[in-house]
């Protein structure tokens, strides 16, 4: 029995040894999974920021009601497209129309009074002027008679009674002349005052009519811009009071007038400038990339969650605006640097070990031999990075590889699998 146990143990040890031998015999020192060739190319450096789609100033208009009355017709609903100048609502205008008719009647009445005054004035004036001429002739005749009578009286050919009678006739004629002149002067003054009063009344009535016409125009509500109705805050038959209710009756939004706000971190603000190219995506369209140019950078900071940002503005093209909506979150890349015709390698080939940037240069692909090389990296782009030193054009480097724990390609590597960083 004891011999059998010893025999089994020996067999197990032999099996384990054979397994280890087979395993070691099959295992390679290095396994290269994917490689890249160092080549000349262009590299762009990007900053990654977060943004949001916003409506431009003037893109969204709230249309209020300035007339008091009942909404007679509401011609649009949410989602309807509208054109600039299109009638969107109609408020009952019967009361205002009646006021206009009354004012128009008043204007016609005043105009008739003015016409009548102007027609009668020349007739009255002519009559008074004739009276003045007659009375003047009578006065001159009476005066001449008095003077003749006085001359006769002085020579003793007339009596006191005859002289007194001639004097009385002259005085009466003079008073009649003055009365006629005063009557004409009074007529002129009254005519001028009457016309002045009537013209004031006419001007007031016309001004009231204009104001009423303006109020009438308020009963027709038109869209001031092209766009889409986004809000309707009243219904047909509802009574509204100007200045008290429904300040925002209908809201119209022009979807073509969009812009993107980029929240640029304060640590990045010194790296960006107006004119930088911008590339961004939104979640709803997956990998679709939109492009633009940074047009403004505001000086006023924005603090969110204790982090300071500065707002960058990117106008959105009409074509892109058809796909985007306000308040969409954007994932933004701002191109802050670019180099052309420089040595480049895939980002995944660059490894970070003990604070150093290294690549594994393929020495012999057939034998899976690699060499650990220190490199100096310049601009790090989205897919490829600039190599300043350590490699030359045409070198093959490992992007993905498996290294054994005891790899000694100039320096032992602590990790077994190195992949795209």
**pTM, 2 dp:** 0.57
What the block records as the tokens of 367 is 């034998």
Tell me whether residue 135 is exposed, middle or buried, using C-beta atoms within 10 angstroms of its C-beta: 0 to 12, 13 to 18, 19 or more.
buried
d(CA 123, CA 309) in angstroms, rounded, equals 86
- pLDDT (tens digit per residue) in 204-216: 999 999 999 999 9
On whether residue 324 sits in a domain, the answer given is yes
Q: Are residues 107 and 155 in the same domain?
A: yes
Q: Are residues 367 and 346 in the same domain?
A: yes
- pLDDT (tens digit per residue) in 388-410: 998 999 999 999 988 887 676 65
Q: Are residues 270 and 292 in the same domain?
A: yes
- Give me the mean pLDDT over the 44-64 stretch: 90
Q: Are residues 291 and 368 in the same domain?
A: no
d(CA 261, CA 199) in angstroms, rounded, equals 60
On whether residue 320 sits in a domain, the answer given is yes
On whether residue 302 sits in a domain, the answer given is yes
What the block records as the tokens of 13 is 């040890």
On whether residue 23 sits in a domain, the answer given is no
What the block records as the tokens of 134 is 């007659």
Q: Are residues 315 and 350 in the same domain?
A: no
pLDDT of residue 98: 95
Mean pLDDT of the chain: 87
Q: Are residues 238 and 260 in the same domain?
A: no
Q: Are residues 169 and 318 in the same domain?
A: no
How many domains would you assign to the chain?
4
Q: Over 80: is that where the pLDDT of 242 sits? A: no
d(CA 421, CA 156) in angstroms, rounded, equals 151
Between 292 and 414, the higher pLDDT residue: 292
CATH number at residue 280: 2.40.30.170
Q: Are residues 87 and 121 in the same domain?
A: no
Among the candidates 338, 370, 391, a domain finishes at 338
Among the candidates 338, 365, 383, a domain finishes at 338
pLDDT of residue 195: 94
pLDDT of residue 420: 40
On whether residue 13 sits in a domain, the answer given is no
- Grade residue 6 by pLDDT with cuts at 50, 70 and 90: low
On whether residue 322 sits in a domain, the answer given is yes
Q: Are residues 226 and 85 in the same domain?
A: yes
On whether residue 19 sits in a domain, the answer given is no
d(CA 183, CA 139) in angstroms, rounded, equals 17
Q: What percent of the chain lies above the pLDDT cut of 70?
A: 88
Q: Are residues 111 and 135 in the same domain?
A: yes
pLDDT of residue 343: 92
Q: Are residues 197 and 176 in the same domain?
A: yes
Task: Domain of residue 225: give its range.
Answer: 60-92+220-253
Q: Are residues 227 and 87 in the same domain?
A: yes
CATH number at residue 73: 2.40.50.100
Among the candidates 253, 277, 312, a domain finishes at 253
């Amino acid at each position: 029995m004891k011999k059998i146990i010893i025999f089994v143990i020996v067999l197990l040890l032999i099996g384990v040894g054979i397994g280890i031998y087979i395993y070691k015999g099959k295992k390679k020192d290095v396994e290269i999974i994917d490689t890249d060739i160092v080549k000349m190319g262009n590299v762009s450096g990007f900053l990654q920021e977060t943004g949001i789609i916003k409506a431009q100033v003037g893109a969204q208009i709230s249309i209020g009601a300035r007339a008091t009355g009942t909404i007679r017709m509401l011609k649009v609903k949410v989602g309807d497209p509208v054109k600039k100048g299109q009638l969107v609502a109609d408020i009952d205008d019967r009361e205002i129309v009646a006021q206009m008719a009354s004012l128009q009647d008043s204007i016609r009445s005043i105009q008739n009074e003015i016409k009548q005054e102007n027609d009668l004035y020349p007739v009255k004036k002519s009559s008074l002027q004739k009276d003045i001429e007659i009375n003047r002739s009578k006065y001159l005749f009476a005066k001449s008679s008095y003077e003749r009578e006085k001359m006769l009286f002085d020579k003793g050919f007339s009596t006191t009674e005859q002289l007194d009678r001639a004097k009385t006739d002259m005085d009466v004629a003079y008073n009649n002349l003055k009365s006629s002149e005063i009557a004409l002067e009074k007529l002129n003054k009254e005519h001028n005052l009457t016309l002045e009063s009537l013209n004031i009344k006419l001007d007031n009535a016309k001004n009231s009519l204009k104001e009423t016409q303006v109020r009438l125009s308020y009963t027709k509500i038109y869209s001031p811009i092209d766009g889409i109705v986004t809000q309707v805050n009243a219904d047909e038959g509802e009574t509204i009071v100007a200045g008290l209710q429904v300040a925002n009756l209908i809201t119209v939004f022009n979807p073509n007038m969009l812009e993107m706000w980029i929240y640029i971190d304060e640590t990045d603000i010194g790296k960006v400038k107006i004119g930088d190219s911008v590339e961004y995506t939104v979640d709803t369209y997956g990998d679709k990339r939109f492009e633009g140019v940074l047009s403004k950078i505001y000086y006023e900071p924005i603090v969110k969650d204790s982090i300071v940002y500065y707002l960058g503005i990117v106008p959105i093209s009409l074509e892109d605006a058809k796909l985007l909506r306000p308040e969409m979150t954007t994932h933004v890349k701002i191109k802050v640097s670019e180099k052309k015709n420089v040595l480049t390698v895939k980002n995944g080939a660059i490894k970070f070990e003990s604070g150093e940037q290294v690549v594994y240069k393929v020495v012999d692909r057939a034998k899976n031999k690699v060499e650990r090389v220190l490199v100096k990296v310049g601009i790090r782009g989205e897919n490829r990075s600039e190599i300043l030193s350590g490699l030359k054009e045409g070198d093959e480097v490992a992007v993905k590889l498996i290294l054994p724990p005891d790899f000694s390609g100039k320096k032992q590597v602590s990790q077994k699998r190195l992949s795209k960083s």
